Structure 1
Amino acid sequence: MLEPVRHSALSDPDDQPASLTVRVLLAVMIVGVLVVVGGGTAWWIYSQKPTDQAAARPAGPCPDTVLHVVAAPEIAPVVREAARTLNGGGDCGPVGVTAQDPVVTASAPEQPDVWIPSSSAWLRISLVGGVEAYRVDGDPIARSPIVIAGPTAIAGRYAKGDQTTWMQLMAGVAGHQIPAVTMPDPLHSTVGMLAVYAIQTAMASSTPDAGIAQLRALTLRSRLKDASADPGELLQRVASATDPTAVANGIGVFPITEQQLITYQHGGHAIPLTGSFPSDGLIEADYPFAISSSTEHADLAVRLHAAIGKPMLTEAGFRTYAMAHTTPVPERTDKLLGPAVQWAQYRALAFQVLLLIDDSGSMNKPATDKAGRPTTKAALLRQSGLAATQVLGDETSVGMWFFNTPNPKSPPHSEVVPFGPINAKVGAGTRRAAMATAINGYQAPNQAGTPLFQTILDAQAAMRPRVAPNTITMVIVLTDGTDGESTYSMPKKTFLDRLAKSQDPERPVPVIGVGFGPDADMSTLTTIAHTTDGKAIAARNPADLASALAKAFLAAHAVPS
């Protein structure tokens, strides 16, 4: 097993060497072990309990079987029907068909003569030799796009007709318009694996920042009613229910294949389900007809392939052609399984953030943004702060201080928004709204000192008693990075000594320092970050702070070292 790579709670995964990043991604226990070989181009996966590992060549009741076929459960009935034409009309004969989930076949000790999984990706993931162990002639025999299904009574909340987007689903969940979302386990289910990849693809198209895209995906992940459901069992639960409200609140919306939805709809159940195609991440389950390179009965396999007719597949709810504008499944399995591992290893964490905003006269000095346009430090801060409030999730508690000294007797900082849950009421609105209002109206006085050092010491002291298990507590300071012109000013060495002595490994409070403008003292902010196990960011783009926060939150959600 790979040795875990140890890193701090706020270390940036993008700062790690690529090989280490892959190793961190893989060093996670999901009942079994994920192992990467060949620089991430081949993945071998154990991901189910040993008791679930049925043999790929079952010793069935038909002793005359010579061609062992394993098919995904939903297409196995069609394959069995075709096999009967080669078995003299019966189930026993030279062709034996076993229905088996691909994750089980992928890790079984022996390979079948013919394997029809629910995605070509399983051929590359398989432990039994991978894609080189099979020959696939022609296109997949069937396809079925992943749809977002839900009780018809609530479908209008996230879809228009048969069209929707993963972004709409995420926004509806975050805004509490959708009562519940359920997902299959992406390490055990084809639907889950493909849906998670589609979600990541959709979020990546919604923003140029990879960290924010991942955080948006995890926003959906954090709101799931169940993250490891079985699609077939979900449909059985809905089919046996009679109360639409109970289904909407208990199961809600979930991804399944179009074929599974069609089969359900033909069952005449009490609670109707509606399926919608997510246009920003439409992805298909495909069903390759893969013949083992070691089988002695390839000719019989070819005859079986020919016997599986398109009308049989269409009648069973499958498509025999590819839909337009689908998201391609990546050839590299690390690109497919990487999001699945991140999704599966997600830890529910609460965040506690104290935001410190420099309100001194130096923030009115000129600056340029990343595009070279003239602006001021204060304007950059306003835009960065507003972007940051959008990144903070519902599980965040937050407070905000301004710090400056307009006269010698002024305190070093003032509380602008009291600390508490971000969606709790403050005044006439929520705390999130109060923060946005305060940042949007931010104006620094022309003459005011910068008690940066004292404010950071006070902020860490205020947040340290709040540190709790399964909670990330941090201080974020937005400044031009210079302490001075204040009765609280102190030599840099004195401050750093006090900062170092105040650190408590049992109650860490990392500081993320964001420096605005070309003359920001990034050296000092970097030292502060190093001392507190935080991060320093030079901000010339309003998105810099939101991006840094996203990376910090993603690092915190990673598997603990």
Structure 2
Amino acid sequence: MELSVNSTSPYELARHRHRAPAPRSRGRLLSPIIAAAAVLLLVTGAGVALSQGGIPTLFPANASGGPGCTDPVSLLVVADESIAPALTQVAADFDATSTTCVATDVRSQASGDTAALLASNALTGADAWVPDSSLWLARMATTAEALGRSAPNVTAGDSVATTPVVFGAPAARSVEFAADTVGWSTLLSGTIGGLVPDPESSAASLAGLASLTAAAPADNPRIVPSTMIELGKTIPASRDEAIAAALAAPRPTVVVTTEQEVVSHNLSNPEVPLLAIYPVEGSSSLDYPFVRVPQKAGEDAETRAMLLDEFERRARLGDAFYAAQGFRDHKGGGEVESVGVLAWSTTPSPPADAVSQVEALSKWSTLTRRSRMLIAIDVSGSMLEPAGGGLRRIEVYQRAAGGALGRYAGETHMGVWVFSTDRPGGKDYEEVAPVAALSDPAHLQQIVQVTQTLPQYIRGDTGLYDTILDGVTKMHAEYTPGMVNSMVIITDGRNDDKGSISLDALLQRIAEMNDPLKPVPVILIGFGPDTDLESMQRIAEATGGEAYSAFEPNDLDKVFVDALTQRTCRPNC
């Protein structure tokens, strides 16, 4: 069948927190800029080799054909690194038993790298491709479109093998998971910790996020973004880095991985074994499709096509070779004899749904992008008024802010202003913490200290408009590309500074500063019955932000999650 994909690109790559290189170097295909850079590298570097013979120059030849085969027809199959060893054994068996003189060469390459080469028309000489997931086909097409090229006319066949997405837990800590069932809902509830190797380069992680989303209760729309924000605080660069982090984690923590990767890890690292935990709700699987790559017609084109048909059939039936490497068969069944995994699959896992994965990746990219934000907190006298539950308004904010602060990763840049009339220096605001990275322990402690001592700043009336104008001006002037630059306002009232700029003048000044290429959305959170929500909405609309109203103490916690969730998708949330 001819592949048909939707080429609308939801992907954006502004990745971070990769502290060490991944052993499996997967290609990054989600950003047109990154993809273009990859192609430029191919053209200026490896492109020389490609022009002198295509993919065989990139990979040293090693196929020799069967016994007595002196002039073989050559087949080249590019396979994901995880399945290449097993597929190489299938190829050797095929060559040795074929009635036609054939030499089948299986070359190992990360699926993302192959997809990038295909998207840029730089993959020559290959007859077939076996990626670890069908999603790479859609991402290949998206990248090709971003480069102004037509998507390669590949033909996607059925799976040759499968492996379910599971939780990998260090066997040394297995007793911590024995008391109760573990599943996607356990991650959503925060009962256990989770580590997700970068979903923008790991098909297993991406399929896991789709399963996580599917397991979420429909009546709680905040739970998935809240969980993704928590998971995104630490993004391991590789499976091995994730395993090391899980071993050292202060609470029970699992790694989103595959059954095959558990087997592979235990074979190569028997001193630190993993245990596969199968999510109680079920999961999806990576499907390893057999993809035909179109080639130019030649003298042996008909013979090659016939041999490729036969090799695809044999590849789909090579269960013994795959099982030895930890794979299930192409239908999701079969036996795997290895420490740390179930011998028999009780229920074959369905292939991961491409649409769900695209949606999960889009949400993940939104929630884990690096942020640079200025938070301005109302410290006018009314913040000392009762808010219910024996708490004053400022104390309710302190509690909510303390919880929200823990959601941000160290690469977030954050600064804090307090605002009311008659602040030192004659302004309506006072900078109590500059915009800087939370990865700096001293800066993080400074913000925590400010939050804990907010009551000491309270006095005067609400100087809202001048504070917003100065804050937006500052964030535009110090705009940092590649980050989400925003201003967050926390207030319990309306503008009370009679000498300040008017609302209409403020909106005009904001409009003059607006730059679609350098957006600075203003997110306003009004707390209490005195909030001027109408004015807040007009300000938010002018900047591509949003205005929220929280009337009860518990509402403020929910509003913080919403504000975090939507901070990077303005104005089209």
- Shared topology, TM-score over 0.5? yes
Larger displacement relative to structure 2 (416-425 or 475-484): 416-425
RMSD: 6.3
Higher RCO (C-alpha 8 Å, min separation 6): 1
* Larger strand fraction of residues: 1
What do residues 342-392 of structure 1 show as CA deviations (whole Å, max 9, x unaligned)? 87899974634232226465997999xxxxxxxx99999788756644544
Query: TM-score normalised to the size of structure 2?
Result: 0.58
Name 2:144's counterpart in structure 1.
Answer: none
Kindly indicate whether the alpha-carbon contact (under 8 Å) linking 2:55 and 2:126 is maintained by their aligned counterparts in 1.
no
* Cα pair distance change 1:416/1:166, threshold 3 Å: farther
Larger displacement relative to structure 2 (142-151 or 84-93): 84-93
**2:352 aligned to 309, 329, 340, which one?**
329
- Take 1:413 and 1:544, find their aligned partners in 2: how far apart are those partners? 25
C-alpha deviation, 1:547, in angstroms = 1.6
Is residue 477 from structure 1 mapped to residue 462 from structure 2 by the alignment?
A: no
- Take 2:491 and 2:74, find their aligned partners in 1: how far apart are those partners? 74
Task: Say which SS state the counterpart of residue 296 (structure 1) adopts.
Answer: helix
Name 1:9's counterpart in structure 2.
Answer: none
* Cα pair distance change 1:478/1:299, threshold 3 Å: closer
- After superposition, residues 510-529 of structure 1 pair within 5 angstroms as 511-515=522-526, 520-529=531-540
Kindly indicate whether the alpha-carbon contact (under 8 Å) linking 2:375 and 2:417 is maintained by their aligned counterparts in 1.
yes
Task: Say which SS state the counterpart of residue 353 (structure 2) adopts.
Answer: coil
C-alpha deviation, 1:221, in angstroms = 4.8
Query: TM-score normalised to the size of structure 1?
Result: 0.59
Is residue 544 from structure 1 mapped to residue 559 from structure 2 by the alignment?
A: yes
Kindly indicate whether the alpha-carbon contact (under 8 Å) linking 2:419 and 2:467 is maintained by their aligned counterparts in 1.
no
- Take 2:477 and 2:379, find their aligned partners in 1: how far apart are those partners? 24
Kindly indicate whether the alpha-carbon contact (under 8 Å) linking 1:259 and 1:317 is maintained by their aligned counterparts in 2.
yes
Task: Say which SS state the counterpart of residue 374 (structure 2) adopts.
Answer: strand
Kindly indicate whether the alpha-carbon contact (under 8 Å) linking 1:28 and 1:345 is maintained by their aligned counterparts in 2.
no
Name 1:403's counterpart in structure 2.
Answer: 420
Identity of aligned residues (%): 18
- Take 1:224 and 1:184, find their aligned partners in 2: how far apart are those partners? 6
C-alpha deviation, 1:282, in angstroms = 4.4
- After superposition, residues 280-429 of structure 1 pair within 5 angstroms as 282-288=283-289, 295-297=305-307, 300-301=310-311, 304-305=314-315, 308=318, 310-320=319-329, 321=332, 324=347, 328-332=351-355, 335-336=356-357, 349=370, 351-357=372-378, 359=380, 361=382, 388-394=404-410, 395-399=412-416, 401=418, 403=420
Name 1:198's counterpart in structure 2.
Answer: 208
Kindly indicate whether the alpha-carbon contact (under 8 Å) linking 1:380 and 1:516 is maintained by their aligned counterparts in 2.
no
Kindly indicate whether the alpha-carbon contact (under 8 Å) linking 1:362 and 1:480 is maintained by their aligned counterparts in 2.
yes
Is residue 100 from structure 1 mapped to residue 108 from structure 2 by the alignment?
A: yes
Kindly indicate whether the alpha-carbon contact (under 8 Å) linking 2:486 and 2:520 is maintained by their aligned counterparts in 1.
yes
Is residue 29 from structure 1 mapped to residue 47 from structure 2 by the alignment?
A: no
Kindly indicate whether the alpha-carbon contact (under 8 Å) linking 1:351 and 1:396 is maintained by their aligned counterparts in 2.
yes
Counterpart amino acid of 2:545?
K
Counterpart amino acid of 2:260?
Q
C-alpha deviation, 1:166, in angstroms = 8.0
Name 1:453's counterpart in structure 2.
Answer: 465
Task: Say which SS state the counterpart of residue 72 (structure 2) adopts.
Answer: coil
- Take 1:525 and 1:432, find their aligned partners in 2: how far apart are those partners? 25
Task: Say which SS state the counterpart of residue 306 (structure 2) adopts.
Answer: coil
What do residues 151-181 of structure 1 show as CA deviations (whole Å, max 9, x unaligned)? 766x579966998778989999xx9x99xx7
* Cα pair distance change 1:396/1:278, threshold 3 Å: farther
* Cα pair distance change 1:123/1:521, threshold 3 Å: closer
Corresponding pairs, count? 477
- After superposition, residues 6-85 of structure 1 pair within 5 angstroms as 22=10, 28-32=32-36, 54=55, 61-62=64-65, 63-65=71-73, 70-85=78-93
Task: Say which SS state the counterpart of residue 354 (structure 1) adopts.
Answer: strand
Larger displacement relative to structure 2 (19-28 or 269-278): 19-28
Counterpart amino acid of 1:29?
I
- Take 1:551 and 1:516, find their aligned partners in 2: how far apart are those partners? 19
Kindly indicate whether the alpha-carbon contact (under 8 Å) linking 1:111 and 1:128 is maintained by their aligned counterparts in 2.
no
C-alpha deviation, 1:84, in angstroms = 4.8
Counterpart amino acid of 1:266?
L
- Take 2:46 and 2:180, find their aligned partners in 1: how far apart are those partners? 37
What do residues 120-154 of structure 1 show as CA deviations (whole Å, max 9, x unaligned)? 44456665434xx2443xxx44322345658766x
* Cα pair distance change 1:87/1:401, threshold 3 Å: closer
- Take 2:479 and 2:312, find their aligned partners in 1: how far apart are those partners? 64
* Cα pair distance change 1:502/1:438, threshold 3 Å: farther
Kindly indicate whether the alpha-carbon contact (under 8 Å) linking 1:203 and 1:217 is maintained by their aligned counterparts in 2.
no
Counterpart amino acid of 1:453?
Y
Counterpart amino acid of 2:153?
G
Is residue 144 from structure 1 mapped to residue 163 from structure 2 by the alignment?
A: yes
Kindly indicate whether the alpha-carbon contact (under 8 Å) linking 1:200 and 1:217 is maintained by their aligned counterparts in 2.
no
What do residues 289-322 of structure 1 show as CA deviations (whole Å, max 9, x unaligned)? 56789933476347625752x4443233222335
Name 1:129's counterpart in structure 2.
Answer: 153
What do residues 40-86 of structure 1 show as CA deviations (whole Å, max 9, x unaligned)? xxxxxx9x975687269989544333766554444344444445555
* Cα pair distance change 1:73/1:171, threshold 3 Å: same
- Take 1:71 and 1:503, find their aligned partners in 2: how far apart are those partners? 48
* Cα pair distance change 1:500/1:32, threshold 3 Å: closer
Task: Say which SS state the counterpart of residue 317 (structure 1) adopts.
Answer: coil
Kindly indicate whether the alpha-carbon contact (under 8 Å) linking 1:148 and 1:256 is maintained by their aligned counterparts in 2.
yes
- Take 1:504 and 1:68, find their aligned partners in 2: how far apart are those partners? 50
* Cα pair distance change 1:386/1:257, threshold 3 Å: closer
- Take 1:470 and 1:282, find their aligned partners in 2: how far apart are those partners? 34
Task: Say which SS state the counterpart of residue 512 (structure 1) adopts.
Answer: strand
**2:133 aligned to 119, 127, 150, which one?**
119
Kindly indicate whether the alpha-carbon contact (under 8 Å) linking 1:170 and 1:219 is maintained by their aligned counterparts in 2.
no
* Cα pair distance change 1:415/1:206, threshold 3 Å: farther
Counterpart amino acid of 1:397?
M
C-alpha deviation, 1:330, in angstroms = 1.6
Task: Say which SS state the counterpart of residue 372 (structure 2) adopts.
Answer: strand
- Take 2:99 and 2:375, find their aligned partners in 1: how far apart are those partners? 68
- Take 2:472 and 2:290, find their aligned partners in 1: how far apart are those partners? 61
What do residues 74-132 of structure 1 show as CA deviations (whole Å, max 9, x unaligned)? 434444444555544699944624233344555235663x65442344456665434xx
- Take 1:93 and 1:248, find their aligned partners in 2: how far apart are those partners? 54
Task: Say which SS state the counterpart of residue 142 (structure 1) adopts.
Answer: coil
Kindly indicate whether the alpha-carbon contact (under 8 Å) linking 1:215 and 1:554 is maintained by their aligned counterparts in 2.
no
Task: Say which SS state the counterpart of residue 378 (structure 2) adopts.
Answer: strand
Task: Say which SS state the counterpart of residue 549 (structure 1) adopts.
Answer: helix
